[in-house]
C-alpha cells in the first residue's frame, strides 16, 4: 500500500560535450540504470544506452567507457562525477523518487486512531524529506558551479520544448508498461498537452 512519494529530484545529463538539443546526444554512450523506459528514452535521443552499476560510473566516465550519465544533481555531486565531465545540462528529462509503502494487511489491521496519527506523521516526514532533497540538489548545483570544472547549461524554453518533443514518442511506446491512465494523469497535473510539444 502506497503511503507517500519522497523526492530525490529531477535528472540532468552530464557529458564532455555541450548538450543543448536532443541531436547533441546522438551517438553518445550514456550510462543508465537497468530500465526498459530509460533505454527507450536514450534511444529516442539517439544515444547508446549503457546499463551499469552506480558504483562503476565514476571510473567509466573517467576512462571514457561511457561518454556521459543521467542522474540527479546531488547524486552526480556526491559521487564526484562532475570532476570528470565538462558539461552538466539541466534537462529535467526524468525524475527519481521513492515510494514509501506498507503491507496493506498490516496497515488495515492498525487501529483507526493510530493510522490517523501515522498518516499525519507521514505527511510531515514527506514534507521534510522533500525539502532536504531540494536543498541537497540546490547546494550540489552551486558547489559544482563553484569548482569551475564543469560548465552548467540551463536550457532555454525553446530547447526544453525540443527535448520534450524528442521524448514524447517514448510515452506511447511504454504506455503498456506504465499505464495510459497514469501517463495522462501526469499530463493533466503538469499542464502538458502531448499534441503540442
DSSP state letters, 40-73: HHHHHTT-EEEE--GGGHHHHHHHTSSSEEEEEH
pLDDT value of position 192? 84
CB-CB contact of 32 with 70 (8 Å): yes
Positions in the chain short of pLDDT 50: none
Domains of the chain plus CATH, in order, are 2-153 (3.40.190.170)
pLDDT value of position 194? 85
pLDDT value of position 190? 85
pLDDT value of position 191? 87
CA-to-CA dists, residue 52 to 148, 149, 179, angstroms: 27, 24, 26
The reported pTM is 0.89
For strands 29-32 and 48-51, give the pairing: parallel
pLDDT value of position 63? 97
Amino acid at each position: 500500500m502506497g503511503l507517500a512519494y519522497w523526492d530525490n529530484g529531477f535528472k540532468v545529463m552530464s557529458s564532455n560535450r555541450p548538450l543543448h538539443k536532443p541531436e547533441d546526444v546522438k551517438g553518445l554512450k550514456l550510462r543508465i540504470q537497468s530500465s526498459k523506459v530509460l533505454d527507450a528514452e536514450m534511444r529516442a535521443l539517439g544515444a547508446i544506452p549503457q546499463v551499469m552499476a552506480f558504483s562503476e560510473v565514476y571510473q567509466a566516465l573517467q576512462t571514457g567507457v561511457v561518454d556521459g550519465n543521467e542522474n540527479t544533481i546531488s547524486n552526480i555531486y556526491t559521487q564526484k562525477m562532475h570532476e570528470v565531465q565538462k558539461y552538466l545540462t539541466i534537462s529535467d528529462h526524468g525524475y527519481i523518487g521513492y515510494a514509501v509503502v506498507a503491507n496493506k494487511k498490516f496497515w488495515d489491521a492498525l487501529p483507526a486512531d493510530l493510522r490517523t496519527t501515522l498518516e499525519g506523521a507521514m505527511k510531515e516526514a514527506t514534507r521534510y524529506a522533500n525539502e532536504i532533497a531540494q536543498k541537497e540538489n540546490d547546494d550540489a548545483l552551486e558547489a559544482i558551479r563553484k569548482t569551475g570544472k564543469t560548465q552548467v547549461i540551463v536550457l532555454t524554453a525553446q530547447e526544453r520544448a525540443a527535448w520534450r518533443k524528442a521524448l514524447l514518442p517514448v510515452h506511447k511506446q511504454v504506455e503498456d508498461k506504465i499505464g495510459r491512465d497514469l501517463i495522462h494523469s501526469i499530463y493533466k497535473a503538469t499542464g502538458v498537452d502531448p499534441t503540442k510539444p
